[in-house]
A = this chain, B = another copy of it.
């Protein structure tokens, strides 16, 4: 299998533009990066093909769907039953994500809930899963640093020489 490609400066420039304006057109990206439209298109296609761009679901705020509460449930599991517990958790709608952590049998379960009662019910349900030994629920009270990744994108080196194709005298 092909070794995973890693973002180069061109990718960085494109991604930064996308972060700044998710609805930016390919042409505008091409203009602001100095790339040809075809190149931008090829890159963008590659991102999805390579999995560099994750699901759109990540952009949907759970609160908008009626789940304003978030919690992380640290779950200690009987090691042999780890997969079965994972499968059981997958059937719980309020479980958004489950990660296996170092420390043989710890799971980090990311859940959302409609309200406190709802959360109580959900954590109770998790605890009732066969193989779950102990849970420790941490409700998210505050977002000290909101999700961000822009700071990890290398700044572009390329001078936007703005050689355009098919494009009007766009004001940059």
| Chain A contacts to B: CB under 8 angstroms | 4-7, 11, 15, 18-19, 22, 47, 50-68, 70, 72, 82-83, 86, 89-90, 93-103, 106-108, 110, 112, 137-154
Task: Given A140-B100, A144-B107, decide whether A57 and B19 contact each other with a Cβ distance below 8 A.
Answer: yes
On whether the beta carbons of A108 and B67 are closer than 8 Å, the reply is no
Task: Given A6-B66, A102-B141, A140-B101, decide whether A57 and B150 contact each other with a Cβ distance below 8 A.
Answer: yes
Task: Given A149-B60, A152-B62, decide whether A99 and B55 contact each other with a Cβ distance below 8 A.
Answer: no
Q: Which residues of the other chain, B, contact A61 by a CB distance below 8 angstroms?
A: 51-54
Most chain B beta-carbon neighbours within 10 Å: one of A99, A108, A112: A99
Task: Given A97-B146, A140-B101, A142-B100, decide whether A152 and B65 contact each other with a Cβ distance below 8 A.
Answer: yes
Q: Which residues of the other chain, B, contact A138 by a CB distance below 8 angstroms?
A: 101-103, 106, 108
Task: Given A89-B145, A90-B145, A138-B102, decide whether A15 and B60 contact each other with a Cβ distance below 8 A.
Answer: yes
On whether the beta carbons of B4 and A63 are closer than 8 Å, the reply is yes
On whether the beta carbons of B102 and A58 are closer than 8 Å, the reply is no
A-B contact pairs, 29 of them (CB 8 A): A4-B64, A4-B68, A5-B64, A7-B65, A52-B61, A54-B60, A54-B147, A55-B148, A56-B59, A58-B59, A65-B152, A65-B154, A70-B99, A83-B144, A86-B144, A86-B145, A93-B151, A97-B143, A97-B145, A98-B145, A99-B141, A99-B144, A100-B140, A100-B141, A100-B142, A101-B138, A102-B139, A103-B138, A112-B152
